[in-house]
């Protein structure tokens, strides 16, 4: 996950990668973000999308197989298909998460792609 975060960061934040703190949990890890900007950047690097390419082979960006498994207070919980652990991302507000996710999905779809985290689990890994 952190490799994906590192490769997508284009902004400078007060805290490293815009993550205010990291907290291990019983079933995974919790990342608390500092701002809406860090939220936008992190979600675009983690949530998978399919983008059509001119070579007739689609590309998957983000972490293939990741789904939002729960919407929690001030955040979301991500899980890889078939894995028991999760990443809980919290931050500014639940509204900020809804807005960031909707904007990302709209941007992907406007370029002819598919927001894979919103698709059914029938697509192949």
Domain-embedded: residue 65: yes
Residue 122 has pLDDT above 70, yes or no: no
Task: Residue 39: give the domain boundaries.
Answer: 2-117
Domain-embedded: residue 101: yes
Domain-embedded: residue 106: yes
* pLDDT on residue 84: 87
Q: Could you tell me if 90 and 72 are in contact, meaning their C-beta atoms sit under 8 angstroms apart?
A: yes
* pLDDT on residue 52: 84
Domain-embedded: residue 73: yes
Domain-embedded: residue 123: no
Beta bridge partners of 64: none
Q: What is the mean pLDDT of residues 47-73?
A: 85
Domain-embedded: residue 71: yes
Task: Tell the residue number behind the tokens 């690097």, with chain if given.
Answer: 45
- For the ranges 46-60, 88-102, 111-125, the lowest mean pLDDT is seen at 111-125
In angstroms and rounded to an integer, the radius of gyration of the C-alpha atoms of the chain is 14
Domain-embedded: residue 55: yes
pTM of the model: 0.78
Exposure letters 8-31 (e unless 16+ CB within 10 A, then b):
bbeeebeeebbbbeeeeeeeeebb
In the chain, the number of structural domains is: 1
Exposure letters 71-86 (e unless 16+ CB within 10 A, then b):
eeebbbbbbbeeeeeb
12 to 15, 17, 89, 92, 124: CA distances (angstroms):
9, 7, 19, 18, 35
- Whole-number average pLDDT of the chain: 82
Domain-embedded: residue 122: no
Q: How confident is the model at residue 125 (pLDDT cuts 50, 70, 90)?
A: very low
Residue 24 has pLDDT above 80, yes or no: yes
Residue 71 has pLDDT above 80, yes or no: yes
Look up residue 72 and give its two tokens.
């929690």
């Amino acid at each position: 996950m952190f490799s994906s975060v590192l490769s997508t960061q284009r902004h400078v934040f007060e805290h490293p990668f815009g993550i205010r703190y990291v907290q291990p949990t019983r079933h995974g890890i919790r990342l608390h973000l500092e701002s809406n900007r860090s939220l936008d950047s992190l979600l675009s690097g983690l949530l998978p999308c399919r983008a059509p390419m001119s070579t007739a082979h689609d590309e998957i960006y983000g972490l293939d197989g990741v789904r939002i498994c729960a919407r929690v207070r001030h955040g979301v919980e991500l899980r890889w298909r078939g894995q028991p652990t999760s990443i809980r991302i919290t931050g500014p507000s639940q509204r900020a998460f809804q807005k960031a996710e909707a904007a990302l999905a709209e941007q992907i779809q406007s370029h002819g792609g598919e927001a894979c985290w919103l698709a059914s689990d029938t697509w192949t890994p």
